[in-house]
């Protein structure tokens, strides 16, 4: 369930950046993701992507491809870049 909340936080950030850059659609999202573990459950990139797409339905990021690179910082993430039109 924690990956759902993290996906929501990421989506909100992506949509904010897209609006700031006058994008009508987001095609790619590049993230840095550190190691997250909540209540002995790891947040996995696969689950994060799935929840992001679930939340992004009917938004300008609904078809965005998500690329994730590992960060050496625990409990950290950052939006590296977004692409779109």
Q: How is the chain split into domains, by residue range?
A: 2-84
Residues 47-67: what's their mean pLDDT? Answer: 97
User: In the prediction, which pLDDT does 1 show?
Assistant: 57
pLDDT over 90 percentage in the chain:
78
Query: In 3D, which of 47, 46, 51 has the Cα closest to residue 61?
Result: 51
Interval 64-85: pLDDT, tens: 999 999 999 888 899 999 999 9
Residues 9-29: what's their mean pLDDT? Answer: 97
Q: For residue 62, give Cα distances in angstroms to 8, 37, 55.
A: 13, 27, 8
Domain 2-84 architecture: 2-Layer Sandwich (3.30)
- pTM value is 0.91
């Amino acid at each position: 369930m924690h990956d759902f909340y993290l996906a929501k936080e990421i989506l909100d950030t992506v949509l904010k950046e897209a609006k700031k850059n006058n994008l009508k659609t987001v095609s790619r999202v590049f993230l840095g993701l550190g190691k997250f573990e909540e209540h002995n459950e790891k947040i996995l990139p696969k689950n994060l992507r799935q929840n992001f797409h679930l939340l992004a339905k009917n938004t300008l990021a609904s078809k965005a491809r998500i690329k994730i690179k590992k960060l050496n910082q625990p409990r950290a993430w950052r939006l590296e870049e977004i692409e779109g039109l």
